[in-house]
Amino acid sequence: MKKTFGNIYILIIMLFLYLPIMALIVLSFNEAKSMAVFTGFSLKWYDELFNSDLMISAMFNTFTIAIVSALIATVVGTMAVIGMNAMKKKSQNALMGFNNIPLLNADIVTGISLMLFMLILQIPRGYGTILFSHTTFCIPYVILSVKPRVNKRTESLYEAALDLGATGRYAFRKIVFPELWPGIFSGFLLSFTMSVDDFIITYFTRGAGINTISTLIYSQVKVGIRPSLFALSTIIFVAALVVLVIINIRQSKTDKRNKMVFNL
Amino acid sequence: MIYKRRYASPFIIWIIAGTVIPLASIAYYGFTDRTGSFTFANILAMFQPDHFQALGLSLLLSIISTLICLVLAFPMAMILKDSKFGKQGFMIFVIILPMWMNFLLRTMAWQVLLERQGVINSIITSIGLPRQELMNTPGAIVLGMVYDFLPFMILPIYNTVSKIDKHIIEAAYDLGATKRQTFTDVIIPMTVPGIVSGITMVFIPALTTFVISNMLGGGKVNLIGNIIEQEFTVNSNWYLGSGLSLVMMVFIIISMLLLQKFDKTGGENLI
């Protein structure tokens, strides 16, 4: 009895989460422009999507910004964790407090604060400013992923390696880095997905004439939804599905004790 | 020592340039007028009827959405906790997957469903009922908020629920607690950190959104986020926009303090 209720409940939530997405997927193959009636199978909206120069350049911007900002954030964040460990607990806590600000703050506030900063310094807004802003909100995710990996044991192992004659650099590469690696990797992935998914902060820090996928969707939805956006939804959904499945398989292989899926 | 303090310096510089100075500039603009002199006018502008109304509506809609998310998410987390491990992993996967889809597209999906010529209306009319005006209502906005943010409520609650040692629950039964008492006196208090993180993760984006209200409200429903966004992008009145943001931040800071009080993990539940 309790079990059936549970299953029905799960089913309802699943339908709620997935029906809208399914509707978009079905409509993306619709021949007509209609948002309600399915008149016949067609791939023309996919055609339209990939023939749009705006969309192609938006995709390029989205992914290059995500990769570069995630890389910078990973380096800066990992170094920060190592550096913070040399500090007193008090200054560590203070820095972590600042670290959590972009994480907890509303995106609109982060967005306008960065926009004002650029306006004051008269930095022309464009690709570089988006990159800077994305790195700013990615660093906290890296720090939160890497920080739990640093502990006393790593430090003792490192010192043992030094006592046994390893150089500092060698011991770092062989001892410390492998300990931190899972955190670094998940920090990078989190940053990448946060950057790809971001709209609000990009919206305020981009200049005219540069688009990411998100800002392009927003400007197109404002003038009227075209079915090519349904095609885009389908592609993004399938891509997310594939990536998550791969991560899952990798994770359950490498670490069975860990939870199955990335907590995002 | 491997740990050298100077490794943190790029991070500290980034905090100063990316967080501290930008937030300080909001404060600066919020308290000055166009001539550069100090004023409270931008802050007090929140009490102008249209701004005040927008803030009230934002608070109302975001509180309703947060409560709906909580009511939907809590049973979900409990059911997930009790299901088999393999199923659990799969279910969490299923909850996370929509979060990987661009949230503009997810919001657009509801626009497609609710529109006058949309999916739901064509189902309604095909069974002979009159067309409904579903879009551009506060209800549509609440629906969009719940849809977009529900996973952010489920995951933190599930994280804390799944960490509860089942021996503690057994101990409660052994000591004579009823099912109900176990739930209210043992399980709920232990899930408070997850609930509080869930609430902040839904409430803050819901309170400050301008996208959902723009897409599902069709410009007819003005939330405080819309007003602030327009001050920056349309009216170019950064002073007023900053002042209103400062007032809005009071609510954000309150939720942050609540989170800090109840969640001692230092934000780990957030990722």
Contact A55, A216 (CB under 8 A): yes
| Amino acid in position B92 | I
| 3-state class (DSSP) for residue B160 | helix
Residue B242 near chain A (CB below 8 Å)? yes
**Residue A215: per-residue pLDDT:** 95
Is A129 a domain residue? yes
Could you tell me what percent of chain B has a pLDDT over 70? Answer: 95
- Tell me the sheet residues that pair with B38: B32
Q: What is the model's pLDDT at position A175? A: 86
Any residues with CB less than 8 A from the CB of B77 and at least 6 apart, and which?
Answer: B154, B157, B158, B161, B191, B194
Residue ranges making up the domain that contains A117: 57-226
Of A37-41, A104-108, B77-81, B235-239, the range with the lowest mean pLDDT is: A37-41
Q: Residue A195: pLDDT above 50?
A: yes
Contact B21, B8 (CB under 8 A): no
Average the pLDDT over B242-259 and give the result. Answer: 90
The answer as to whether B22 is a domain residue is: no
The answer to whether the beta carbons of residues B104 and A214 sit under 8 Å apart is: yes
Instruction: Average the pLDDT over each of A190-199, A221-230, A247-256, B101-110 and give the range with the smallest value.
Output: A247-256
Give residues 79 to 98 of B whose Cβ lies within 8 Å of A: 79, 82-83, 88-98
Structure pTM? 0.88
| Percent of chain A with pLDDT strictly greater than 90 | 53
Please answer whether residues B117 and B200 qualify as being in contact, where contact means their C-beta atoms are separated by less than 8 angstroms. Answer: no
**Mean pLDDT throughout B164-170?**
86
* Rounded CA separation B132/B116 (Å): 7
Helices (H), strands (E): how many in chain B?
A: 14, 0
**pLDDT at position A207, please?**
85
**Inter-chain contact A86–B1, Cβ cutoff 8 Å?**
yes
Q: Which of chain B's residues have a Cβ under 8 Å away from the Cβ of A216?
A: none
As a whole number of angstroms, the longest Cα–Cα distance in chain A is: 75
Q: Is residue B3 part of a domain?
A: no
Note the pLDDT of residue A225.
86
Q: How many structural domains comprise chain B?
A: 1
**B114-152 pLDDT, tens digit each:** 887 788 888 888 888 888 888 888 999 999 999 999 999
Q: Which domain holds residue B171?
A: 45-270
Which residue reads 């007819």 in tokens? B220
Q: Which residue has the higher pLDDT, A179 or A199?
A: A199
* ipTM of the predicted assembly exceeds 0.90: no
Helix, coil or strand: residue B38: strand
Among B156, B175, B183, which Cα is nearest to B66's?
Answer: B156
SS3 state of residue B271? coil
Task: Supply the mean pLDDT for chain B.
Answer: 88
User: What is the domain-level CATH number for residue A122?
Assistant: 1.10.3720.10
pLDDT in tens, B184-215: 888 888 899 899 989 999 999 999 999 999 99
CB-based contact A35 B117, cutoff 8 Å: yes
pLDDT in tens, A68-121: 999 999 999 999 998 888 888 899 889 998 998 888 889 999 999 999 999 999
DSSP 3-state of A105:
coil
| Domains in chain A, number | 1
pLDDT confidence of residue B118: 80
Q: What is the pLDDT of residue A263?
A: 41
Q: What is the pLDDT of residue B265?
A: 58
Q: Is residue B5 assigned to a domain?
A: no
CB pair distance less than 8 Å for A233 and B105: yes
Evaluate whether B148 touches A63 at the Cβ level (below 8 Å): no
More reliable by pLDDT, A151 or B241: B241
From A24, A102, A171, residue closest to B112, measured CB to CB? A24
Distance of CA B122 to the CA centre of its chain: 32
Q: Which residue of B has its CA nearest to A109?
A: B245
- B2: in domain: no
Q: How far apart are CA A184 and CA A144, in angstroms?
A: 10
Question: Among B50-59, B139-148, B203-212, B219-228, whose mean pLDDT is lowest?
Answer: B219-228
How far apart are the C-alpha atoms of A90 and A113, rounded to whole Å? 27
pLDDT at A254: 60
Mean pLDDT of A35-44: 81
Residue B254 in this model has a pLDDT that exceeds 80: yes
Lookup result for tokens 């609540």? B258
Does A140 fall in a domain? yes
More confident residue, A83 or B266: A83
Q: Do A83 and B97 touch (CB under 8 A)?
A: no
What's the rounded mean pLDDT across residues B170-177?
A: 89
Q: Is residue A128 in a domain?
A: yes
Min Cα separation B175/chain A (Å): 24
- Report yes or no: B168 at the A interface, CB cutoff 8 Å: no
CATH number at residue B217: 1.10.3720.10
Encode pLDDT of A111-152 as tens digits. Answer: 999 999 999 999 999 999 999 999 999 999 999 999 888 877
Please judge whether A132 and B267 are an interchain contact, meaning their C-beta atoms are less than 8 angstroms apart.
no
Question: Would you say residue A209 has pLDDT above 90?
Answer: no
pLDDT at A21 over 80: yes
Cα–Cα separations (whole angstroms), residue A261 to A203, B77, B154, B222: 30, 15, 14, 38
Instruction: Identify which of A77, A110, A263 has the shortest CB distance to residue B271.
Output: A263
